[in-house]
Amino acid sequence: MTSPLARSSAIALCIAALWSCASGNAPPSPSATAAPSPAPATVPASAQAVPTSSAHPRPEPVLRNGMVLIPAGEFLMGSADDDPLVYPWEKAHEQPQHPVYLNAYYIDRHEVTNAEYGAVDPKHARNTKVSPCDDCPVDEVTWFEAQAYCAGQQPPKRLPTEAEWEKAAKGGEPSGTPRNPVLLDQYAWFAKNSIERTQPVAQKAVNGYSLSDMLGNVREWTADWYDPIYYKLKVRDNPKGPAEGVRRVERGGAFFLPHRGVTTTIRYNHPPHFRLYFLGFRCAQDP
């Protein structure tokens, strides 16, 4: 298994070239076979942060029980109108970019794993083809089950709001999505490196907030109802999404999606009772 240090060295060798994103949102091939899994791992305390657009040093993360503190403050939510990674048909959903202020919160450093979820809900049927290992992210959980898992933690957690998820994913940077496909490869499981299945969490480099797999691996349920034009309201303070809806927001893209499908800003959604092989979650918590 490649050590974090070795991966860090590899990151330094990244070259600047955009990867062509020709593939669509195709599911894994029916003939896909499970590749050998690297040894499971938790996020090491010294996990390296990958600057995706600049090389500013990051403060040491404030940790609590597998979570990291995201400090209070403002960030720019949504994508810039000239962002070349944004699909033209997605612009109306993730723009206009607008300032959002969030109170401080904690968020899990990695996606909830099969082992973690199974300890709470042993009746959950693991998808042994797409997400087979103990340290792979749990998938095929409904929004209700994800919410219940978080609420059942001690002390109780909750699903992150869509804004909390996006601020965390951006890692303190304007975009947080690596422009460079070689760098994204060091940072996320997506179509280029894992088109057939998920991978154990926390194997890739962490973002500016020391979080793993915000982009790729599994998409992640958030607390909010989905409204495709919600951003036009430009809700500034601790937005929690529309008051009602029929679909919940999921974020971050998944293992089978191309570069443009695993950005910090792209907004996916499904009805909350759906179980999908590419959809998991992580929890948040108030300080």
- Contact residues for Ca ion (CB under 5 A)? 213, 217, 252
| Residue 194, phi then psi, degrees to nearest 5 | -160, 50
| Residue 232, phi then psi, degrees to nearest 5 | -65, -20
Which residue is nearest to Ca ion, using beta carbons? 252
Residue 252: CB minimum distance to Ca ion, A: 4
Task: For residue 110, give Cα distances in angstroms to 97, 138, 237, 257, 287.
Answer: 26, 11, 26, 19, 18
Residue 96: CB minimum distance to Ca ion, A: 25
Our CB check for Ca ion shows the closer of 66 and 96 to be 66
Q: Where are the alpha helices (DSSP H) in 171-212?
A: 181-187, 191-194
Query: What would the DSSP string read from start to end of 144-176?
Result: HHHHHHHHTSSS--BPPPHHHHHHHHHTTSSS-
Our CB check for Ca ion shows the closer of 4 and 252 to be 252
Our CB check for Ca ion shows the closer of 96 and 132 to be 132
Our CB check for Ca ion shows the closer of 217 and 264 to be 217
Task: Give dist(CA 180, CA 177) in Å, integer.
Answer: 9
Task: Give dist(CA 73, CA 22) in Å, integer.
Answer: 37
Residue 227: CB minimum distance to Ca ion, A: 22
Our CB check for Ca ion shows the closer of 165 and 226 to be 165
Residue 274: CB minimum distance to Ca ion, A: 17
Residue 15: CB minimum distance to Ca ion, A: 25
Residue 253: CB minimum distance to Ca ion, A: 7
Task: Give dist(CA 51, CA 45) in Å, integer.
Answer: 17
Q: What element of type H or E holds 93?
A: helix 91-94
Our CB check for Ca ion shows the closer of 66 and 242 to be 66
Q: Which residues contact 92 (CB under 8 A, 6 or more apart)?
A: 228, 229
Q: Is 187 left (phi over 0), alpha (psi -120 to 50) or beta?
A: alpha
